[in-house]
Amino acid sequence: MRKIVCCLVVLGCAVPLGYGQAAKKRIAVMNFEYGTVQSYVAEIFGADQDVGKGIADLLVNQLVTDGTYSVIERKDLDKIITEQNFSNSDRANPATAAKIGRVLGVDAIVIGSITQFGRDDKKEGLGGNAYGLGKFGLGDIGRKKSKAVVGISGRMVDVNTGEVLAVAQGHGESARSGMLLGGGGGGWSGGGGGQLDMSSSNFGATILGEAVTQAVNNMAKDLEAQAGKLPTNTVHFSGLVAYFSGGQMVVNVGAKAGVHVGDTLHISRVGQVIKDPSTGKVIKKIELPLGDMKVTEVDPDSATGTFSGSGAPKVGDSADGSH
């Protein structure tokens, strides 16, 4: 039997899959909503920081590392979010998330909220006087040492129905305690423009970073354990050959229609049109197979690949596939 090879793109890396191996379910992760803890975040860092995006970035990294899902590139998701001008409150809306997921061509999308972010003696954050940006102020400095705690809640949404398929939780608590969330009198250096980078080693070394990492890891495990709840959706796509030369082919159907790198499109040409003799209406088209195109690059409205087959394709030929 001829071996068939396909590939999935996970954050820009091609991962080969052998014949008979099931393709991973494709998901995207929305930036988490953090309205409940936003005022505490501003007190901790001296200014509002998008901790919801930071949590989502870390969750994507963990899910990719664990390998249960194929996770869409963050740049593709961020582009759509920017274009649609979604607010912080939109992030946890299943209907909004499902719409984005359909554009991305994923099987499901993860949405979530940050429910706890700060120290253990404040249920939803911190209080009192905070030190400014870079000091992880706790309030009531000098009175007691506290541990950092983080709580996150997530839902996996079916992009076709908006139905919540699975619920996941993540709770993290630092092993260390300190008068500052940085621990040991520590501080933090952000990225450009003072933006918080939760993936940085500086942040990860703080007691708040410890709690964030633990919460994200726990949620990732919860989501992975529920992978079987995702539906198996077959996506069909049809287009036309727009360019062909020297074995290279471009078709006029792309990511918006659900085409992925690694997909195979069957190229054919209408050989005969059969009409109803009484009405003149076309009742059947007989397609002549020419060969296959293996997709190597995908844009929103087009796909590029290599053609193999015995036929001689030309512009206007049919290109059909599914996965």
The mean pLDDT value for 131-150 works out to 57
User: Do 240 and 162 share a structural domain?
Assistant: no
User: Do 143 and 68 share a structural domain?
Assistant: yes
Q: Note the pLDDT of residue 103.
A: 80
Domain boundary among 213, 229, 245: 229
CA distance 151 to 118: 9
Domain boundary among 207, 229, 251: 229
The model's pLDDT over 47-79, given as tens digits with 9 standing for 90+, comes to 899 999 999 999 999 999 999 998 988 887 888
User: Do 255 and 215 share a structural domain?
Assistant: no
Determine the structural domain holding residue 103 and report its residue range: 6-229
Domain boundary among 229, 255, 274: 229
CATH of the domain at 81: 3.40.50.10610
User: Do 53 and 179 share a structural domain?
Assistant: yes
- Whole-number percent of the chain with pLDDT over 70: 79
CA angle 302/304/308 to nearest 5° reads: 135
The mean pLDDT value for 196-202 works out to 87
DSSP string for residues in 244-305: EETTEEEES--GGGT--TT-EEEEEEEEEEEE-TTT--EEEEEEEEEEEEEEEEEETTEEEE
pLDDT at 3 over 60: no
Could you tell me how many residues make up the chain? 323
CATH of the domain at 273: 2.40.10.410
SS3 category, 130: coil
pLDDT at 194 over 70: no
User: Do 148 and 264 share a structural domain?
Assistant: no
User: Do 273 and 197 share a structural domain?
Assistant: no
Query: Does 80 fall in a domain?
Result: yes
Query: Does 299 fall in a domain?
Result: yes
The type of residue at 62 is Q
SS3 category, 173: strand
Burial of 271 (0-12, 13-18, 19+ CB in 10 A): exposed
The radius of gyration of the chain from alpha carbons, rounded to an integer in Å, stands at: 25
- The residue among 66, 72, 63 whose CA lies nearest residue 28 is 72
User: Do 216 and 307 share a structural domain?
Assistant: no
| Res. 171 pLDDT band, cuts 50 70 90 | very high
Q: Which residues pair with 245 in a beta bridge?
A: 248
User: Do 132 and 264 share a structural domain?
Assistant: no
pLDDT at 190 over 60: no
| Res. 133 pLDDT band, cuts 50 70 90 | very low
Query: Does 1 fall in a domain?
Result: no
Q: What is the dihedral of CA 99, 104, 108, 113, to 10 degrees?
A: -70
- Whole-number percent of the chain with pLDDT over 90: 49
The model's pLDDT over 93-124, given as tens digits with 9 standing for 90+, comes to 888 888 888 888 788 999 999 999 988 764 43
Q: Note the pLDDT of residue 262.
A: 87
pLDDT at 127 over 50: no
Tell me how many domains the chain contains: 2
Task: Tally helices (H) and strands (E) across the chain.
Answer: 6, 13
User: Do 245 and 212 share a structural domain?
Assistant: no
User: Do 185 and 223 share a structural domain?
Assistant: yes
User: Do 293 and 163 share a structural domain?
Assistant: no
DSSP string for residues in 91-108: GG-HHHHHHHHHHHT-SE
| Res. 128 pLDDT band, cuts 50 70 90 | very low
User: Do 149 and 36 share a structural domain?
Assistant: yes
